[in-house]
Amino acid sequence: MLVFPQFKTDPIMGDIINLPKIGKVPMSLSRPIPDGFKVKQVRVLSKARGTQWYVVVSIQSDVSVPDVPFHGRAIGIDLGLERFATVSDGSFFERPKFLKSQHRKLKLLQGRAARKQKRSANWEKAQIKVARLHHHIANTRKDFHLKTAHKLCDQAETIFAEDLNTVGLNRGMLRKDCIDASFGAFLDLLEWVCWKRGAFFMRVNPNGTSQTCPHCGATVRKSLDVRDHHCPECGYQTHRDHAAAEMVLLRGLNLVPVDNRGMETVCAGELPGAETSRQVPKARKGVTRKPKK
């Protein structure tokens, strides 16, 4: 990776970028630089063993954009391996098995590369094929994450999600499936999409969301192989992930200040603590800023 930290003048001229000590390099500009922004930093990345090159341009503006407030329709989401994401309104997104669907082809290419003489020309060609397949899997996963995040923003203006310990999940007995699903990358991307589209996003404590009844608050213990939620106290029955998503919504609403909680929610009238009131106008779209870390 090459990093060019600052520029005195705009290095982009049409489809050509002028890099210090390298010169003018042709590129495919994905989108034009907006008016009022200037190029601050440029990073040059190589993928698939140097066969694909990308230029990441960071731009800067003095425009100050306020934080997005809690507003509009609110939903909670629960992430899992049976269903990638389950929404508190009952909808869900199936989990594509990005790596498993390409596992047979990947194993074949890796076997061919292992039989080649190391550092030979044929070995390098075989390694490039393996790297390109890994790159294709990563792009497919990111594309699914991005489309899912936009679909969630289409459903509501406020989204609550679990603050998962993704490092611990990636070290557990289901680590291969968790790494393939890449929950941490999805949550970071969802936060960015919410900020970009003017939606409010918040992470809540995930402990016990699937072990608590969202209707009465009773503790309902169940193992991982039990996929249905049945509360012996109030008799509420639903899918396990749906009940967890409803609990995520409730915890998110409890974290929002009381003065801002009288908004339309996806389960208004059904969940305790969720009341219907007038809806605050949506935040303006098209204004972007960099989210705080």
Residues 41 and 98 in one domain: no
pLDDT at 65: 79
Same domain, 42 and 186: no
Domain assignment of residue 49, yes or no: yes
Q: Are residues 233 and 152 both part of a single domain?
A: yes
Say yes or no: 80 and 55 in one domain.
no
pTM, whole model, 2 decimals? Answer: 0.82
User: Which pLDDT does position 67 carry in this prediction?
Assistant: 86
HEC profile of 5-19? CCCCCCCEECCEEEE
The reply to whether 277 falls in a domain is no
**Whole-number pLDDT of residue 259:** 59
Last residue of a domain, one of 60, 87, 102: 60
pLDDT for res 277 = 33
170 and 193 fall within a common domain = yes
User: Rounded distance, CA 69 to CA 192, Å?
Assistant: 15
Examine residue 272 and state whether it is found in any structural domain, yes or no: no
Determine the pLDDT at residue 118.
94
Contact present, 181 and 142 (Cβ < 8 Å) = no
Shared domain check, 223 and 87: yes
Q: Among residues 196, 198, 223, which one has the least CA distance to residue 211?
A: 223
Domain stops at, among 60, 83, 109: 60
Domain assignment present for residue 216? The answer is: yes
Task: Assess whether 53 and 86 both reside in one domain.
Answer: no
pLDDT of residue 282: 38
Same domain, 53 and 22: yes
Q: Is residue 127 part of a domain?
A: yes
Please report whether residue 65 resides in a domain. Answer: no
Consecutive 10-residue averages of pLDDT for the chain (293 residues):
89 91 91 88 93 92 86 94 94 93 95 95 96 96 97 96 91 90 95 94 93 92 90 92 95 80 45 36 38 45
* Residue 211 belongs to some domain of the structure: yes
Q: What does DSSP say about strands 2-4 and 83-87: parallel, antiparallel, or unpaired?
A: unpaired
Report the domain count for the chain. Answer: 2
Looking at the structure, tell me whether residues 25 and 128 fall in a common domain.
no
What the block records as the tokens of 132 is 């390109």
Residues 235 and 94 in one domain: yes
Domain encompassing residue 235: 74-260
CA distances from 61 to 12, 34, 41, 44, 287 (A): 17, 10, 13, 22, 12
Cβ–Cβ under 8 Å, residues 34 and 60: no
Q: Please report whether residue 82 resides in a domain.
A: yes
